[in-house]
Amino acid sequence: MDPAKNNRSETRFLSGLTHELRTPMGSILMLAELLGDNRSGALADKDLEYVAKIQQAVTDVCGLIDDVSLLNKINAGRMGASATDVSLRQFARRLEDTHRSAAEEKKLRLEVSCDDDLPGTQMIDGGLLEQILDILVANAVRTTAAGEIRVNFGGLPSGGLEIWVRDGAPTVPADQRQAIFEPFGHTGPQTRRKLGGQSLALPIARRISRLLGGDLALSGWKDGNLFILSLPLASTPPDSATIIA
């Protein structure tokens, strides 16, 4: 079969599948919420615990459906980048404000810093950059049990931008670092537990980074993991084949 035709068929199939799944999942969630209200008072506390678990499970599935839909959109070349002039230091402050509460709930220290030589502004799609960093910081908060999470904005000698997110989670083995960027990549059970489950968030973050003309990599260090986002000086979308790679 022609690979291009096969990709189009897969895209249509996934688009239809996610659309069909949203309706029953929404119905289940609505019914679970009605049960959770317990207006009749017929449910015991233990029953309400089960209802809460159903709600959380359905919410997780809905999130996965959204992720599959977004990944399918990126792979089909239907997601583009539009560069505008973004104030990087203001962006860094907003990022810290967004995730500070979640970190504090786990008694984690979140520190977002900018190098002195960081350019004042960058031509980039701020919405897509925010989406990448929200994924990385939320992942760091979720997987770090204690300690600190550090985010740093710095410039590259070429004039581009490098942002790294350092967590305090158990270090992912070197032979499994590539797999976590692959949708449902083959990582060991211990690595899946370290990452809080087999999510599509990190594969999406890498796809978006490549859509911006950059890349996302992972390296380990003695007390955690270091995600490194590298972006060119001016972000322009590459062709769709590069995005999918």
∠ CA 158-162-167, nearest 5°, is 160
**Residue 180 CB-half CA count within 13 A:** 28
Give the Cα separation of 208 and 69 in Å (integer). 14
Look at the domain 84-244 and name its fold.
Answer: Heat Shock Protein 90 (3.30.565)
pLDDT in tens, 14-61: 777 777 888 888 899 999 999 999 988 989 999 999 999 999 889 888
Interacting residues of 165 by C-beta distance below 8 A, sequence separation 6+: 133, 136, 137, 140, 149, 150, 151, 226, 227, 229
Mean pLDDT over each residue of the chain, to the nearest integer: 83
Beta strand 148-155 with 161-166 is antiparallel
pLDDT in tens, 187-223: 555 555 555 445 688 999 999 999 899 999 999 877 8
Look up the pTM and report it: 0.76
Give the Cα separation of 181 and 161 in Å (integer). 21
